[in-house]
Amino acid sequence: MAKVPGAVIAASGLVGGYGVARWTGRRPLGGAVLAAAGAAAAQQWRQRAGGKAAGALSAAYVAAFVGSHPLAKKVGAWPAVFGVAGAVALASWAVADRRG
């Protein structure tokens, strides 16, 4: 069975985490989705590109989450989330996914 690319997992974690938090009104539940997807993506990145790349991409994932908050004040919540999810997905593809 083919593995789901880390780019898809990471982008889904950012979008899904926000969506769950927004629609349930429970931010910790959204955080759990975000964390679970981040851990799964990091595992894919480590397998495909090694520990240093996985660490850098994990840092980008966290930075995207943090950066989406001030960005949302300028462009709106959903555009900010989709923007950072796309950026992380692109970075993941460039660093790890295109290899596998």
**In contact, 38 and 11? CB cutoff 8 Å:** no
Residue with tokens 């880390």: 6
CB 55 within 8 A of CB 93: no
The reported pLDDT for the residue numbered 100 is 60
pLDDT in tens, the chain (100 residues): 458 999 999 999 999 999 999 999 999 999 999 999 999 999 999 999 999 999 999 999 999 999 999 999 999 999 999 999 999 999 999 999 987 6
Q: By C-alpha distance, which of 69, 64, 5, 55 is closest to 34?
A: 64
pTM assigned to the model: 0.93
